[in-house]
Every structure is written in structure tokens, then in C-alpha cells.
């Protein structure tokens, strides 16, 4: 496994550390909707042994069900993750993933398809593709394997045949391709994680990765894709909207992109949520492992998160979706020094985003 592949995979699934900068918890808002709306978080990374801690967090912050995207694969720790999910009393759904090392020798597509089927038979409900695909996974010839590499078609087709939605992370914020200096608005985050920076590396551009992703989605109309992190392009609402209109099999989640989403005009974003209300899923990118591992709150800084930062992460998230408040601190300060505006989703749309869409997509009959 290459160094970049190791960094990308580890960064995608490992819980991290947040800055210890004191952040006040968000003040209650008078514009919050009455009554609690159930919530399913479709984008959680759970390390083995962390389920007790996760369930406590869910109870504290009103999360009814989660999807663990770090379930591993059938040749790894998928069995253990599924056992923890079963012990949760129906609170955890598990997605399996690709064993990337399979791509290093010919015949990788059918082998990966077989592992997708095996994961399904073991109990995995979906498939997670980490961002290493397209950026760090080598093919049999040693060259980067593209997101839309035809050799992987059997695996994606098999997921569709089995009714397994694919949560796919392709690329990263545009700023990760820029020089890591004081002019980069993600300077603090990239300074804490230099391995995340893509500037100067022999990888496809931001736009090239997004084009690969679009071709992948287009090639499998019977496979449902969750293009995570607001369609992997939170900087460009119009681009995501164009893809959503073109591909009815494309869903998106909101994980770790509220800071970016909240910078757009609230009316424009509310109109987006209104148009695509049936294909948007709430996700957080929360990472949880057993104590004393620090929580990963959408991103991480050089230090473990403080209690105030934990409260901000969950509180500002609801404030963004549920209120029309303006100019408040976003959930993940390490991701950028700016404020956001709430989009005050009407309750029927909020219910779809928070839990109804996920229930339908995952085949859940109860929370």
C-alpha cells in the first residue's frame, strides 16, 4: 500500500483530534420547530469496540439510528462490526467496503464483486467507497485506478443488483488542491493534517475527479449512489443540482459540509433542499472509538475536542437546518474561519432529510 493510500484511508476512517480553542455553545433559537424530529445519521465512522460510547452520544443528542460506514470488508473486521450492530438493539446499520489491495492484480473486478456479495450475505446493507479510489489506489499496472475504471464495473453492478446503496467519497474540498499557506482558507486543517493536502501531488484535479464520479453514476442507473459530503462538491450548489436532475439514482448526504453549505445564500440552499427533498440524507461524519480515543467531529485539529466543541458540533448542526438564524459559528471551526446562516427547513422537508429518506433507502421499517 502506497504512503498516500495509507494516509487517505486512515484519514477517512480514523477518529481524530479537534482544536482546543474555546468555542461557546450555540444559544437556543426562538425559530426552532416545535417538537423533536427523529434523526438518522447516515455517515458515521465507528471503530470496533466503540458502540457503547456511540449509543450514549446518540441518546444525548437525539439520534435514533446511525449508518456505520467503517464496517470493513468480509476479509477484515466486517464480522465484528456486524456483531456490534446486532448488539445495539437495531440502532446501527453497517456498510461494507472494498479491500483496495485486490486492485493490484488482474481480475480485481469480479473478486471485488464477490466480496460485495459476501458482505451482503453477512448482513451489510450498503457499500462504502473511500476517497482513496481515484487518488491513491493503484491498478495492476501501478497507475492510479480511476473512480470510473471499467474494471470495477462488476462490483458496482453487483451492489445495484443486491439493492445495496453505495456511499461514495470522491475527491475533497477544492482548497486541498491549493498551496498550503496563509492564503488557503483551510490552512489550519491542512496544517494539522499535511497528508490530506493534494497540492503538487500526481493526482487528478478536483474537476477531473468529479467528472470520473459523474461517469461512474451515469454508468449504473440501477445502482443507488449516495454522493457524500453534499455531492462531493459543496462549493458549487449549481453543479450538484445539475447532476441530481440528470441522475435520479443519485442521492447526497450533508456530512462535514455544513460549514461550506452555510456560506451559500440561505434562500438558494433552501430552494435546493426543496427541489431535491426526497434524495438528501442527513450525515455528520462523526467518528467514534472506545475511550480514551478522541471523537472525530467532522474534521480534527491538533488536540482532542473540548466539551464546548462537542456541543457546538451537534448544536450548530440542528441550528443550521432548523432555524433562520444568521451569522453563527458553524459546527467545525477547524474547517474555516467564517460564520453561517440557517436555512429553516419546513418540517415536512426536515423530516425527510433527517430520517424518512434514509428509512426508505435503507429499507428500515422502524427506528
Peptide bond preceding 261 in cis form (omega within 30 of 0): no
Region 215-229: mean pLDDT is: 98
Residue 22 has pLDDT above 60, yes or no: no
Residue 21 falls inside a structural domain: no
Cell of 37: 424530529
Residues 6+ away with beta carbon under 8 Å from 34: none
Distance CA 154, CA 201 (A): 30
Residue 352 falls inside a structural domain: yes
Distance CA 166, CA 69 (A): 10
- pTM attached to this predicted model: 0.92
CB atoms within 10 A of CB 222: 10
Residue 32 falls inside a structural domain: no
Distance CA 109, CA 251 (A): 24
Region 153-175: mean pLDDT is: 98
- Arithmetic mean of pLDDT over the chain: 92
Q: Confidence class of residue 24 from pLDDT cuts 50, 70 and 90?
A: very low
Residue 134 falls inside a structural domain: yes
Residue 245 falls inside a structural domain: yes
Residue 176 falls inside a structural domain: yes
Contact between 128 and 170 under an 8 Å Cβ cutoff? The reply is no
Residue 16 has pLDDT above 60, yes or no: no
Which residue segment(s) compose the domain that 97 sits in? 39-362
Grid cell 462488476 — which residue? 154
Residue 221 falls inside a structural domain: yes
Residues 6+ away with beta carbon under 8 Å from 129: 97, 98, 166, 167, 168, 169, 170
Residue 26 falls inside a structural domain: no
pLDDT tens digits, one per residue of 119-143: 999 999 999 999 999 999 999 999 9
Q: How would DSSP label each residue in 185-199?
A: TTHHHHHH-GGG--T
Q: Are strands 126-129 and 92-97 parallel, antiparallel or unpaired?
A: parallel
Could you give the number of structural domains in the chain? 1
Paired residues of 10 in beta bridges: none
CATH code assigned at 311? 3.20.20.140
Residue 104 gets which letter from DSSP?
A: G
pLDDT of residue 34: 57
CB atoms within 10 A of CB 271: 14
Q: What angle do CA 112, 8, 218 make, to 5 degrees?
A: 50
Residue 271 has pLDDT above 70, yes or no: yes
Amino acid at each position: 500500500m502506497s504512503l498516500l493510500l495509507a494516509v487517505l484511508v486512515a484519514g477517512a476512517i480514523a477518529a481524530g483530534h479537534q482544536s482546543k480553542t474555546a468555542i461557546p455553545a450555540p444559544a437556543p433559537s426562538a425559530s426552532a420547530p416545535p417538537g423533536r424530529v427523529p434523526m438518522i445519521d447516515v455517515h458515521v465512522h465507528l471503530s470496533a469496540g466503540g458502540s457503547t460510547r456511540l449509543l450514549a452520544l446518540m441518546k444525548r443528542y437525539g439520534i435514533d439510528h446511525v449508518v456505520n460506514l467503517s464496517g470493513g470488508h468480509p476479509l477484515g473486521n466486517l464480522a465484528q462490526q456486524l456483531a456490534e450492530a446486532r448488539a445495539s438493539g437495531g440502532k446501527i446499520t453497517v456498510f461494507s467496503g472494498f479491500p483496495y489491495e485486490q486492485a493490484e492484480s488482474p481480475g480485481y473486478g469480479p473478486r471485488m464483486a464477490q466480496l460485495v456479495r459476501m458482505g451482503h450475505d453477512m448482513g451489510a446493507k450498503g457499500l462504502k467507497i473511500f476517497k482513496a479510489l481515484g487518488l491513491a489506489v493503484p491498478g495492476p499496472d501501478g497507475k492510479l485506478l480511476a473512480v470510473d475504471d471499467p474494471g470495477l464495473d462488476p462490483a458496482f453492478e453487483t451492489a445495484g443488483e443486491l439493492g445495496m446503496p453505495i456511499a461514495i467519497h470522491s475527491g475533497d474540498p477544492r482548497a486541498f488542491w491549493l498551496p498550503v499557506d496563509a492564503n488557503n482558507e483551510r490552512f489550519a486543517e491542512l496544517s494539522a493534517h499535511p497528508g490530506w493536502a493534494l497540492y503538487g501531488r500526481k493526482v487528478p484535479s478536483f474537476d477531473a475527479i468529479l467528472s470520473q464520479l459523474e461517469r461512474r453514476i451515469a454508468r449504473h442507473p440501477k445502482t443507488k449512489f449516495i454522493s457524500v459530503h453534499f455531492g462531493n462538491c459543496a462549493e458549487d450548489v449549481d453543479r450538484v443540482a445539475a447532476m441530481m436532475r440528470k441522475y435520479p439514482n443519485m442521492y447526497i448526504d450533508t456530512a462535514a459540509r455544513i460549514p461550506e453549505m452555510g456560506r451559500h445564500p440561505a434562500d438558494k440552499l433552501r430552494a435546493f433542499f426543496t427541489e431535491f427533498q426526497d434524495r438528501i440524507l442527513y450525515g455528520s461524519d462523526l467518528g467514534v472509538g472506545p475511550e480514551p480515543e478522541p471523537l472525530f467531529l467532522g474534521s480534527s485539529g491538533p488536540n482532542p475536542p473540548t466539551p464546548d466543541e462537542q456541543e457546538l458540533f451537534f448544536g450548530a448542526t440542528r441550528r443550521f437546518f432548523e432555524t433562520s438564524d444568521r451569522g453563527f459559528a458553524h459546527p467545525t471551526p477547524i474547517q474555516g474561519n467564517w460564520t453561517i446562516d440557517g436555512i429553516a427547513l419546513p418540517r415536512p422537508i426536515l423530516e425527510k432529510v433527517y430520517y424518512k429518506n434514509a428509512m426508505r433507502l435503507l429499507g428500515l421499517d422502524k427506528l
